[in-house]
Amino acid sequence: MKNDNMAAYLFHQGTNFTSYRYLGCHEQAVESGYLYTFRTWAPSADAVFVVGDFFGWDSPIPMQRITDRGVFECTVHSESSLQGSCYKYSIVRGGVARLKGDPYAVCSKGMDDGASIIYSSSYEFSDASYLEYRSKTVGVHADAYLPAPINIYEVHLGSFLRHEDGSYYSYRELAHVLVPYVKYMGYTHVELMPITEHPYDGSWGYQVGAFYAPTSRFGEPDDLRFLIDCFHRAGIGVIFDFVPAHFPKDAWGLYEFDGGPLYEYQGADRMESASWGTRFFDLGREEVQSFLISAALYYCREFHVDGLRVDAVASMLYLDYDRAPGQWIPNSNGGRENLEAIAFIKKMNQAVLGEFPDVLMIAEESTDFDGVTHPVSMGGLGFSMKWNMGWANDFYAYLAMDPVYRRYHHKALTFPLMYAFHSNYILPISHDEVVHGKASLIGKMHGAYEDKFLQLRAALLLQMTYPGKKMLFMGTEFAQFREWDFDHSLEWFMLDHERHRQTRDYVRALNALYLSTPALWELDFSQDGFCWLLPDEADKNLVAYERVSLNGERVRAVISFSGSVQEIYLPLETDCVPKELFCTWQGGDHAISYVTADGYLLRLPPFGGILLRHEEKEIIFKHKEK
């Protein structure tokens, strides 16, 4: 009881970051069978009952208010295990009873029903070696932050692959299909779009109904643990999408949980998103803080996830987000920043990274808010990295242009380097940019069919060689033309066509190059890792630059987005020769036309890109001797 009192106290203080061990349903084996303790938070309720299929849905079990701030509790005895049984809370206020799923349920039916399921995990992970590797690579090493390759494959589990009848692959089936594919392609991480239980497929998982329950669409929670374990045994990290900004208004969910606003803001100026039709979390409320931060830590502790990508951070940071003038109230300083949300984000990142310093906290943040990836101790929000959405938007617009006009928009290639080291960036080619009429990545390219494939290769080489960690959305690697459709499988039949198969092979080779070239990832977040060679070749639609490793190794990237052949002269260090490491075109044609004592001439085909390294002549000679 003493421990329960402390758990309740910390929950109401907003500092119980294991609140899922206190609230929800918990099983205890006793001599006469099993005891099940149910607890929920409903401060404005007149009465709360548990109903379920273990005693009949029409036989409510009353719960007692055990804290002044609204925690209710009851204990149910059963001679046999209730594992797999369904239950809900009947919450009565003003004479009206509402059936609600358990906010802390670790398993849920979801969809339109939303019934919570009594569930205890029996899974034992076997990923100790990967977690040890993670602890050695994530963080500050050799005076550089994250000097490790991070190349993420973003996946929506419901549409990566489906059975012929349209049914989903289960978590365990995906372990035998998705894991080897990601490994074969050479990615370091997989990022799973939200797999928490959600009612509406069309939300892609971003309108979460049960924050602690992996969706039952693909199996049980331990099946998801198995999938993560398989990724880890293959040496692949797993990042979850986490959505602490908002939740849907489905009747069984968090919406007006105790008969009125509880998890959501109460004032109309903050309560609801007009565009999404969802409710914003009241991030200043202590119990909500315990709920959300515990959820983030729950997946780190109980599922061994390696990172959380926090969705829609901008919607939390600003009071005027998605609101017209007059629809929002300034903060106490007269500004537009949501001070409570900023404090919450710092608190969340400190809690997660304090316990798991080798977990990645990634912000999807689309504004110029200062210090998103700076430590909280230095006044920042404390995220590990953030998506560089500005780079993505500018680059896509550039690729859509006729090459004739790209010379007038050359800053799309150069401007991102003006701010590339102000934050720790991921360069995302994400799901958001290949839906709703935006076209797939290859579909964005200007020009004829053949030219689209050439430009895609050049675009991916630029992404892989610019400063910042990498992310590619599923299907992009084999140049799927159709926009992503959450309700159908990727068009894997495209691999029967040579151009698409060659593109997949190209991406695999590019990933292998990335992994084997420290200059492309050791100093991603430092100006020391990048140097312009030719930033101003706007008339040639061309850029040239160097990437530098911790030990001073340099590789040069030269990439043309011109539809014609381009020649460019580059200087050469004394007693060195240029070596071609990688190029975008096929065949044996070499880009280096001739070499002098001072430099060399490159001849690039239309939309051609190349990566080079300068090697000492003596080393080359010794290699030939062998």
What is the average pLDDT across 408-412?
98
Cα 175 from Cα 567, distance rounded (Å) = 47
Q: Per residue in 84-119, is it b (16+ CB within 10 Å) or e — as a string? A: ebbbbbbbbbeeebbbbbbbbbbbbbbbeebbbbbb
Which of 166, 179, 217 shows the shortest CA–CA distance to 196? 217
3 state SS of 49: strand
Helix (H) or strand (E) holding 417: helix 416-419
Tokens of 481: 């033309």
Which of 237, 338, 340, 233 shows the shortest CA–CA distance to 284? 340
Which of 523, 507, 605, 440 shows the shortest CA–CA distance to 187? 507
Q: Does residue 540 contact residue 560 with C-beta atoms inside 8 Å?
A: yes
| Its pTM surpasses 0.85 | yes
Instruction: Give pLDDT, residue 1.
Output: 53
pLDDT tens digit sequence for 332-361: 999 999 999 999 999 999 999 999 999 999
pLDDT tens digit sequence for 441-489: 999 999 999 999 999 999 999 999 999 999 999 999 999 999 999 999 9
Which of 113, 133, 98, 4 shows the shortest CA–CA distance to 53? 113
**Amino acid in the structure at residue 244:** P
In this structure, are strands 189-192 and 237-242 parallel, antiparallel, or unpaired? parallel
Query: How do the residues of the chain divide into helix, strand and coil, expressed in percent and rounded to 5?
Result: 30, 25, 40
The CATH architecture assigned to 527-625 reads Sandwich (2.60)
Tokens 């040639």 correspond to what residue?
540
Instruction: Give pLDDT, residue 529.
Output: 97
Cα 470 from Cα 193, distance rounded (Å) = 16
> Quick one: pLDDT band at residue 2, thresholds 50, 70, 90?
low
Which of 163, 158, 156, 138 shows the shortest CA–CA distance to 148? 138
Instruction: Give pLDDT, residue 621.
Output: 42
List, by residue number, the catalytic residues: 311, 364
Widest Cα–Cα separation across the chain: 91
Cα 309 from Cα 298, distance rounded (Å) = 15
User: Which residues lie across from 599 on neighbouring strands?
Assistant: 571
User: Which residues lie across from 595 on neighbouring strands?
Assistant: 600
Looking at per-residue pLDDT, the higher value among 596 and 488 belongs to 488
Cα 604 from Cα 592, distance rounded (Å) = 9
Tokens of 470: 């990498």
Tokens of 377: 């101790």
3 state SS of 400: coil
- What are the DSSP E strand ranges found in 335-467? 360-363, 385-387, 425-429
Tokens of 478: 């084999």
Helix (H) or strand (E) holding 9: helix 2-13
Residue 166, CB half-sphere, CA atoms under 13 Å: how many?
A: 4
Q: Phi then psi for 427, rounded to 5 degrees?
A: -90, 105
Residue 571 has a CB neighbour count (10 Å cut-off) of 9
| Comma-separated ranges of CATH 2.60.40.1180 domains in the chain | 527-625
Q: What DSSP string describes 115-145?
A: -EE----------HHHHHHHHHHSSEETTEE
pLDDT tens digit sequence for 297-311: 999 999 999 999 999
Helix (H) or strand (E) holding 580: strand 576-583
Cα 386 from Cα 366, distance rounded (Å) = 9
Cα 345 from Cα 365, distance rounded (Å) = 12
Residues with Cβ within 8 Å of residue 298, at least 6 apart in sequence: 20, 212
Helix (H) or strand (E) holding 348: helix 339-355
> Quick one: pLDDT band at residue 618, thresholds 50, 70, 90?
low
| Comma-separated ranges of CATH 3.20.20.80 domains in the chain | 154-387
Helix (H) or strand (E) holding 349: helix 339-355
Instruction: Give pLDDT, residue 143.
Output: 85
Percent with pLDDT over 70 in the chain? 98
What is the average pLDDT across 240-265?
97
3 state SS of 378: helix
> Quick one: pLDDT band at residue 503, thresholds 50, 70, 90?
very high
Q: Per residue in 610-619, is it b (16+ CB within 10 Å) or e — as a string? A: bbbbbeeeee
Cα 100 from Cα 407, distance rounded (Å) = 58
Instruction: Give pLDDT, residue 623.
Output: 43
Instruction: Give pLDDT, residue 625.
Output: 46
For the ranges 40-49, 358-367, 595-604, the lowest mean pLDDT is seen at 595-604
Kindly report the average pLDDT of the chain as a whole number.
Answer: 95
Q: Does residue 365 contact residue 314 with C-beta atoms inside 8 Å?
A: yes
Instruction: Give pLDDT, residue 163.
Output: 97
In this structure, are strands 469-473 and 151-155 parallel, antiparallel, or unpaired? parallel
Gyration radius of the chain's alpha carbons: 27
Q: Does residue 158 contact residue 217 with C-beta atoms inside 8 Å?
A: yes
Which of 194, 308, 292, 174 shows the shortest CA–CA distance to 244? 292
Q: What DSSP string describes 146-167?
A: --S--EEEEE-HHHH-B-TTSP
pLDDT tens digit sequence for 165-223: 999 999 999 999 999 999 999 999 999 999 999 999 999 999 999 999 999 999 999 99
97 pLDDT above the threshold of 60:
yes
Class of domain 154-387: alpha beta
> Quick one: pLDDT band at residue 624, thresholds 50, 70, 90?
very low
User: Which residues lie across from 173 on neighbouring strands?
Assistant: none
